[in-house]
Amino acid sequence: MKSTAAVHRLRLVSGPEGLSFLLLLVCSVLKRTTEFNAVPVMGAVHGALFLLYLVFLALAWDAARWEPKRGILMFVLAVLPGGGFVAERMLAKEERGETAVPAAA
């Protein structure tokens, strides 16, 4: 399948989104165990990246004509800790043409 700019943008934001989620979880633990509270800042960063991920997911889903199963998987990966890294790997393979993703008819 030919790679699209929308899929590439989704791949580029999926890694930072996954990292921000993990950092937000660490900040949440630190908030409750120490006096360090970076949750408001990290929450805002993660929120912005998550919204960007959702916008790019919708654009990529439409441009690449993914089946619903594929689009839903990409959404589920965004809400799982570390799922952004899995999504990034899957999208990188797709861009390189290593995986055959069937287009919807």
Place of tokens 């949750």: 39
Q: According to the model, what pLDDT value does residue 79 have? A: 94
Q: What angle do CA 92, 44, 81 make, to 5 degrees?
A: 45
Q: According to the model, what pLDDT value does residue 8 have? A: 94
> Are residues 92 and 99 in contact, defined by beta-carbon separation less than 8 angstroms?
no
Token readout for 15 is 């890694």
Domain limits, the chain: 5-96
How far apart CA 58 and CA 10 sit, in angstroms, is: 9
The model's confidence at residue 24, banded by pLDDT at 50, 70 and 90, is: very high
Q: What is the pTM of this model?
A: 0.85
Q: According to the model, what pLDDT value does residue 58 have? A: 95
pLDDT in tens, 82-97: 999 999 999 999 888 8
The model's confidence at residue 4, banded by pLDDT at 50, 70 and 90, is: confident
